[in-house]
Amino acid sequence: MSRFIQRIVLILMALFLLTPAVPARAADGTVLISNESANGYKTESTGNFSINNKSYAKNKKLQRASYRLDYVQPLKIRAKYNPLNHTSQKKKSIKVGSGKKFWVSDLSTDKRYQITAKLSYVGQHTKVWVNGNQLTKKDAETLGKTFDQTIFPLDNRYFGAPSDVDHDGKINLLCFDIKDGSAEQNGGFASGYFDPNDLYNGKKSNRSEIVYVDTYPSLGSSKHKKVSLAYSTLVHEFQHLINYNQNVLVEKKDEMDTWLDEGLSLAAEQLLAKKPLDDRIDYYNESSSIANGKSLLYWDDSGDNLANYSLSYLFVQYLYIQCGQPDDLFKRIIQDPHNNYRAVQDVIHDYISPAMSFGQFMSNFRKALYLNQADGPYGFHGIAGFQQLKKKVYNGKSKAPKLRGGGAIIVNSAASIPNEKGAPITYSNLAERQEDRDAPRQPRIAPFGDKDSQLRGNSEPGAVIAIVGKAGLLAKCKADATGHFQATIGRQKAGTVLDVFAADTSGNAGQSKKITVKDQTPPAEPIVYRFYHQQLKIQGTAEPGARVTVRYGKKKLGAVAANTHGKYSIKLYQKQKKGKKLTVYAQDRAGNKSLTRTFTVF
């Protein structure tokens, strides 16, 4: 991503120093700077779950639930998934009250160890197992019935079907005190997790579908637990299990990108709660890392990963609202052949606009977080709960922060605008009364070659166009009322890459259109060494790489490409008569043909 950021003196010259007609900021001084690249998050698994309490936003007004985390264990067992291994053995009937050993994880050290849990409830879709005295039998029954009657049908309806590797038709809920390394009263803690290793054959696999549920501090610190606090964890982790089944076990592909998988699990929580998640919105409002450019796409396990949850939650809700809240939206994303941003782009094309890119949609999302309008693309359509979102403004000291793909900041003064800008970085004016908040699309450029001196094309009517070369700004012009523009940039060397930008009258700067100067210059006539009638090879020099052809009248005698030094040697099938007139010409890779040279056979 850094290579994009480094391109920039050139672009700001083109976009913000061109003319006073293009303001660098809105009347109220707010500009969105957004990295529309989808290359911000790269899936990497360290195998450790990190509670980064030093990085989290600390506010006494935040509820304990605002620091709730979950975890999806990375896959370590590489044994082939084979459900037949589970059916080959006769199943033993397990009764309520029976004990069983389970492998669990210490999330702070990534070490697995065993605990013994007692079966406390068996229902239509679930078995509830309790370690020690963590839950009473009544609490376990309440938890199991809620899963059977509410959580299972909800996730099944909106997200899909779970796997059933042990063929018992049940999801195991294992309730115990998850070791996560958290010792702070007001800090991050793991409320539960899902471990895909349990779906494979391995030495420390439980060989069944399990949702791990934390009992302390998630369900309270007193002796009497509040099991209703586990419902959001259950619906969240069960989505992960369904998601993994569809993408990995059914489609035989990789796991879904973390930011999207977590956003869908948080959507499941909202469907269960039937209202926006106040804890995620509260944390968004307090997070300085989001204000300072945190990426939606990069799941930061070593920093403020609580902010990842808030951003993913808000993005998926924004997508849901903008698509019209269809019942099948989340299931369509999970069942899409892509397991990353392309799955989101596919539903954007289906429900919103086939012309909108994922990058443009990410920028619209950031505008919606700031403007929060009651309708249209820049808000959450007045839904209660989202109205409490605070405007997040960049407060860092750096004037030119580097943004990962999916990152964005809002600056409130021209002095805060970075001095550099990469190709996927866009600038958008956020004046709330301004009608045009969308950056223009990439300009359409007519073919341009090394013999041309004027570059022509089309863009948004009235837009300021800038053409940037390797050395800097080559020219600027303005599109007419029909969008046509023409700029004199002088002749450019074939193969030169130019960036063409458009900034509209509202100050919104779009992505660049890269063009490569075409080779329109024909090669010089080939030189032919003296050729005798006894010879079978015609030799000489021509433009390196050009194809040299020899003819006798209309008959082609042979052809070959000149080497990197410009030398060529054409082998003939028969000797030529003395005094015969032959012709030779060269044609380069771009199709340009030289003048024809005539020579005589000696």
Joined tokens for residue 310: 């808030």
Q: Contact, 18 vs 464, CB < 8 A? A: yes
Element (H, E) at 259: helix 258-273
Rounded to the nearest 10°, the torsion over CA 367, 373, 374, 378 is -20
SS3 376: coil
The per-residue pLDDT for range 500-525, each reduced to its tens digit, is 988 876 666 777 889 999 999 999 99
Tell me which residue of 260, 347, 272, 270 sits closest to 308, measured CA to CA.
Answer: 260
Q: Are strands 126-131 and 171-176 parallel, antiparallel or unpaired?
A: parallel
Q: What is the pLDDT of residue 505?
A: 63
Q: What is the pLDDT of residue 34?
A: 81
Burial of 472 (0-12, 13-18, 19+ CB in 10 A): exposed
Tell me which residue of 443, 321, 436 sits closest to 383, measured CA to CA.
Answer: 321
The per-residue pLDDT for range 342-360, each reduced to its tens digit, is 999 999 999 988 888 999 9
For the question of residue 237 being annotated catalytic, the response is: yes
Q: In the chain, what's the furthest Cα-to-Cα distance?
A: 112
Q: What is the pLDDT of residue 51?
A: 37
Q: What is the pLDDT of residue 355?
A: 81
Catalytic residue among 209, 237, 262, 543: 237
Tell me which residue of 261, 264, 259 sits closest to 154, measured CA to CA.
Answer: 264
SS3 597: strand
Q: What is the pLDDT of residue 72?
A: 60
Joined tokens for residue 337: 């052949």
Tell me which residue of 518, 443, 520 sits closest to 487, measured CA to CA.
Answer: 443
Q: What is the pLDDT of residue 522?
A: 95
Q: Are strands 171-176 and 210-214 parallel, antiparallel or unpaired?
A: parallel
Q: What is the pLDDT of residue 27?
A: 38
Query: Listing from the earlier edge strand, what are the strands of the sheet with 444-445?
Result: 444-445, 454-458, 484-488
Q: What is the pLDDT of residue 220?
A: 78
Q: What is the pLDDT of residue 519?
A: 92
Q: Are strands 189-194 and 68-72 parallel, antiparallel or unpaired?
A: parallel
Give the span between the Cα atoms of 465 and 504, in whole angstroms.
Answer: 9
Going through 248-321 in order, the beta strands assigned E by DSSP cover none
Neighbours of 133 (CB within 10 A): 9
- Cα 217–Cα 240–Cα 228 angle in degrees, nearest 5: 35
Long-range Cβ contacts of 307-312 (<8 Å, 24+ apart): 307/57, 307/283, 308/258, 308/259, 308/262, 309/69, 309/262, 309/266, 309/280, 309/283, 310/280, 310/281, 310/283, 310/284, 311/259, 311/284, 312/259, 312/260, 312/262, 312/263, 312/266
Segments of the chain with pLDDT less than 70: 1-29, 40-93, 181-189, 397-401, 413-422, 431-438, 505-508
Give this prediction's pTM. 0.65
Joined tokens for residue 20: 């006073």
Q: Contact, 163 vs 199, CB < 8 A? A: yes
484 DSSP 8-state letter: E
What is the set of domains in the chain, with CATH numbers? 2-30+419-516 (2.60.40.10), 64-388 (1.10.390.10), 527-600 (2.60.40.10)
SS3 347: helix
Query: Listing from the earlier edge strand, what are the strands of the sheet with 513-516?
Result: 472-478, 464-469, 497-503, 513-516
Give the span between the Cα atoms of 370 and 291, in whole angstroms.
Answer: 11
Q: Contact, 70 vs 193, CB < 8 A? A: yes
Q: What is the pLDDT of residue 2?
A: 33
Neighbours of 395 (CB within 10 A): 12
Give the span between the Cα atoms of 203 and 200, in whole angstroms.
Answer: 10
Q: What is the pLDDT of residue 534?
A: 94
